[in-house]
């Protein structure tokens, strides 16, 4: 009877994952969807702890260790998530994703160790004592989970500024060699003597960790949204391997959903940048190492005062705000929403133009604006926004750079050439807020800053927005 109830619990949990994932597609229902999926996960965990049977009806009994681990991990996760600023959310997501990959890898390591100690008394080959399909799942979980863990930690370091982009001549060949060595070690472990099979297996895990580091190191910062999505899909696949090992339907379903969602998101991110996944992985777009040429000055730029900017926005019919990473760094999302409300009260139509790869992770700008209670109805995707720019009086670009760079349209020599951008120069006036004239994350000059319709408004985004609000209130 216990097994039937356990299966039912897994079925309910699987349904909540699917329902929660569906609800995450809309900011209005995302929070509720997240809670529903979390509730299903809690049900699956508790059902496994109290109802799972093994070895002829035995159940788990070491509850102190189990709940002790859950409590400590939950406490650390809760405190970390509560304390982190929204600007640091991308690296937190990357780090948490890495922890998921590490868990999946540890599951495979534990299961291999169990098989090893069970059979090491024999002198036969490991392949004679182990089902090939079972070993394939174990080693796949170990390799993919290790790559996801190591790669996510490097991504976390790069996003937080602790790790710099690193590339060298022949790096992609070196990565391929390490990957082939990893697969070879896994193959050798399966065909080794049972008594010594653990050595090549742990070499496999070590090489997978090294590959995960080398895999992410050369990838430039501008490609981080794609990399995070890809690593997320890796973690899902590794978790699904654990579901196969334990015949756990809830774990299998969750892993497949994460893997599929991460893969689809990776494809969408690549499409938004008009680049192939191969180009992202080997192109080092945005890496500091590849920008060896000095960008030449492109002419004079115009600077606008707070008073003039406030005047233009106050008497405009339509204003479009383009948020970028500078908005996140300044934690200016609440001030931005306050400006929006102030202009709306004065009869100005205000909308936000969101580029798919703005920020440092998929949906970064949406998350920031949702935190400030910006209405989802005011958020326009790139295609919608580009249709409305020609009828827009003022565009206010807040800390965005590469996603509004005209070089993507008219400079074939540019590394971002072909990437769809927000066509802000189609508006009557474009005001760009930046701290300085330094290039964006892709490391290239932005010709938009020197266009006739563009005026620069220098300063911290939060301070600039607060000054704009104060000035508009006096008009």
Question: Which DSSP category does 297 fall into?
Answer: P
Q: Which of 50, 37, 2, 101 is nearest to 253 (CA)?
A: 37
Could you confirm whether 247 is annotated as catalytic?
no
* Helix residue ranges per DSSP H, 217-285: 224-246, 249-273, 277-283
Q: Which of 286, 296, 355 is nearest to 325 (CA)?
A: 355
Beta strands, E only, 39-172: 53-54, 58-59
Inter-residue contact 399 to 355 (CB < 8 Å): no
Inter-residue contact 274 to 141 (CB < 8 Å): no
Candidate list 402, 411, 447, 460, residue with the active-site label = 402
> Which pairs with CB-CB distance under 8 Å and at least 24 residues apart come from 130-135?
130/190, 132/190, 134/245, 135/190
**Cα 133 to chain center, whole Å?**
32
Instruction: Supply φ then ψ for residue 315, to 5 degrees.
Output: -105, 15
Dist. CA 120–CA 6, nearest whole Å: 34
Q: Which of 115, 111, 108, 170 is nearest to 141 (CA)?
A: 108
Tracing tokens 């090549």 back to the chain, one arrives at 200
Extract the tokens encoding 413.
């020599």
Extract the tokens encoding 359.
């920020």
Inter-residue contact 238 to 105 (CB < 8 Å): yes
Annotated catalytic residues are 402
């Amino acid at each position: 009877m216990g097994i039937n109830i356990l299966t039912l619990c897994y079925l309910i949990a699987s349904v909540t994952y699917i329902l929660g994932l569906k609800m995450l597609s809309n900011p209005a229902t995302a929070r509720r969807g997240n809670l529903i999926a979390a509730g299903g996960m809690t049900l699956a965990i508790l059902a496994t702890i109290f109802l799972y049977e093994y070895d002829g009806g035995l159940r788990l009994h070491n509850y102190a260790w189990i709940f002790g681990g859950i409590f400590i991990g939950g406490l650390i996760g809760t405190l970390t998530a509560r304390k982190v600023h929204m600007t640091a959310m991308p690296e937190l997501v990357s780090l948490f994703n890495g922890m998921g990959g590490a868990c999946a890898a540890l599951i495979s390591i534990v299961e291999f160790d169990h098989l090893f100690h069970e059979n090491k008394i024999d002198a036969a080959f490991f392949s004679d004592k182990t089902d090939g399909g079972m070993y394939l799942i174990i080693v796949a979980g170990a390799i993919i989970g290790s790559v996801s863990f190591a790669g996510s930690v490097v991504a976390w370091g790069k996003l937080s500024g602790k790790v710099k982009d690193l590339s060298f001549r022949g790096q992609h060949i070196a990565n391929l060699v390490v990957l082939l060595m990893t697969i070879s070690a896994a193959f050798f472990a399966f065909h080794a003597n049972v008594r010594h099979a653990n050595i090549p297996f742990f070499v496999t895990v070590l090489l997978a960790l090294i590959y995960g580091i080398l895999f992410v190191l050369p990838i430039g910062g501008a490609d981080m949204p794609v990399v995070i999505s890809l690593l997320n899909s890796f973690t899902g696949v590794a978790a699904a391997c654990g579901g196969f090992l334990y015949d756990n339907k809830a774990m299998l379903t969750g892993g497949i959903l994460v893997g599929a969602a991460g893969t689809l998101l990776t494809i969408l991110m690549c499409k938004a940048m008009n680049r192939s996944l191969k180009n992202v992985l080997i192109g080092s777009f945005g890496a500091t190492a590849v920008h060896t040429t000095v960008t030449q000055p492109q002419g004079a730029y115009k600077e606008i005062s707070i008073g003039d900017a406030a005047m233009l926005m106050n008497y405009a019919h339509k204003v479009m705000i383009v948020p970028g990473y500078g908005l996140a760094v300044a934690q200016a999302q609440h001030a931005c929403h306050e400006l929006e409300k102030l202009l709306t009260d004065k009869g100005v139509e205000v909308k936000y133009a969101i580029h798919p790869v703005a920020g440092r992770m998929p949906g970064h700008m949406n998350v920031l604006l949702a935190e400030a209670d910006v209405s989802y109805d005011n958020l326009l995707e790139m295609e919608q926004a580009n249709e409305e720019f020609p009828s827009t009086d003022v565009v206010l670009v807040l800390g965005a750079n590469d996603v509004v760079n005209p070089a993507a349209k008219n400079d074939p020599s540019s590394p971002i050439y072909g990437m769809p951008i927000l066509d802000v120069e189609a508006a009557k006036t474009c005001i760009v807020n930046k701290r300085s004239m330094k290039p964006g994350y892709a490391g290239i000059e932005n010709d938009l800053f020197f266009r006739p319709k563009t005026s620069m408004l220098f300063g911290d985004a939060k301070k600039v927005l607060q000054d704009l609000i104060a000035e508009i209130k006096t008009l």
